[in-house]
Amino acid sequence: MRCAGVWISVSALCVTACVSRPPTIAHVHVGHALTAVPSTPNHVGYLAQAESRAREAIDMAQRAGASGDLPQMKKYVASAAEATDSPDGFGVKQALALAADHVSFAATSADASTNLHQSAPVFVSHTARVLERCSLIRLLADDVAASTSVPEAQISIAEIRKLAQANLTGDVDASGAVGSSSAQYGLAQIRSELESITSRENPPYVTVDRWYLLNLVRLPSGKWIFDRLRRTDSMEGYK
């Protein structure tokens, strides 16, 4: 009996040690922007999705600029536009807008820190220039599609290349400093800013376990919970 008693005691200690405290809802929302989310391809975080698509857009724009064949140029530019602005394909514009949404969700969560309350609106405002560039790329892509000559297409393609690069690494102003103001921000500066925000969190922000990232749902009441029973048919998830 004594052995059984010892066994029970050890088991209880083990269970206690293995149970970890769930992350705050605010930190899960931040994790969706940085680490993982159910709705993206490969479940990557929204910023990672935006960065991946931004690199695709740069590659396609560079190929278009190097081509001297008008139909091929139009094909490459269409792919660059799709990577930049595509509701169905999680383009840069859509992924970044969702990252901003989730940082806002974090700031308005009941367990959000003062740091998030104060920092999130500034962060969201700093995404505006990238979103604007995405719309410009889409408009310029339409101009390329309507072009009737290689020289005509090349004018718009040159601008698309600059905008696509700026979306990823930041624009260069007259001072020669990349990303020296929010108007010059690219995804590199936006990621750096969000990482700076998380570094100021108290309690500290730590990378959220994927289970929590992939199982946060919203009840009809608007309350966010972790769905341990996966009842997603009666709850609202993310996009």
More confident residue, 80 or 176: 80
Residue keyed to tokens 């690219």? 186
Please give the model's pTM, rounded to 2 decimal places: 0.84
Distance between the two ends of the chain, CA-based, in angstroms? 55
pLDDT tens-digit readout, 125-162? 999 999 999 999 999 999 999 999 999 999 999 999 99
Alpha-carbon distance of 59 to 68, in angstroms, equals: 16
Q: Among residues 50, 59, 127, 129, which one has the least CA distance to residue 84?
A: 50
Q: Side chain identity at 192, as an amino acid letter?
A: S
* Strand spans (E) along the chain: 216-218, 224-226
More confident residue, 53 or 228: 53
Q: Side chain identity at 118, as an amino acid letter?
A: Q
The maximal CA–CA distance of the chain, rounded, in angstroms, is 91
Q: Which of 2-11, 16-25, 134-143, 165-174 reaches the highest mean pLDDT?
A: 134-143
- pLDDT bracket for residue 89 (50, 70, 90): confident
Q: Is residue 168 scored above 50 in pLDDT?
A: yes
Q: Residue 236: beta bridge partners?
A: 218
| Average pLDDT value for residue range 46-69 | 97
Q: Is residue 235 scored above 80 in pLDDT?
A: no
The token pair that represents 25 in the structure block: 């809802």
8-state DSSP, 113: -
| Average pLDDT value for residue range 68-80 | 97
The token pair that represents 218 in the structure block: 């919203």
The token pair that represents 37 in the structure block: 């989310």
Alpha-carbon distance of 55 to 57, in angstroms, equals: 5
Residue keyed to tokens 């367990």? 111
CB 106 within 8 A of CB 30: yes
- pLDDT bracket for residue 199 (50, 70, 90): very high
Q: Which of 12-16, 27-31, 214-218 reaches the highest mean pLDDT?
A: 27-31
How many Cα atoms sit within 13 Å of 112 on the Cβ side?
21
Render 17-77 in DSSP notation, one character per residue: HH--PPPPHHHHHHHHHHTB-TTSGGGB-HHHHHHHHHHHHHHHHHHHHH---HHHHHHHH
Our CA dihedral for 52, 57, 63, 69, rounded to 10 degrees, sits at 140
The token pair that represents 3 in the structure block: 């052995």
Alpha-carbon distance of 188 to 217, in angstroms, equals: 29
Residue keyed to tokens 């769930």? 22
| Average pLDDT value for residue range 22-34 | 94
More confident residue, 201 or 224: 201
CB 78 within 8 A of CB 91: no
Confidence (pLDDT) at 172: 65
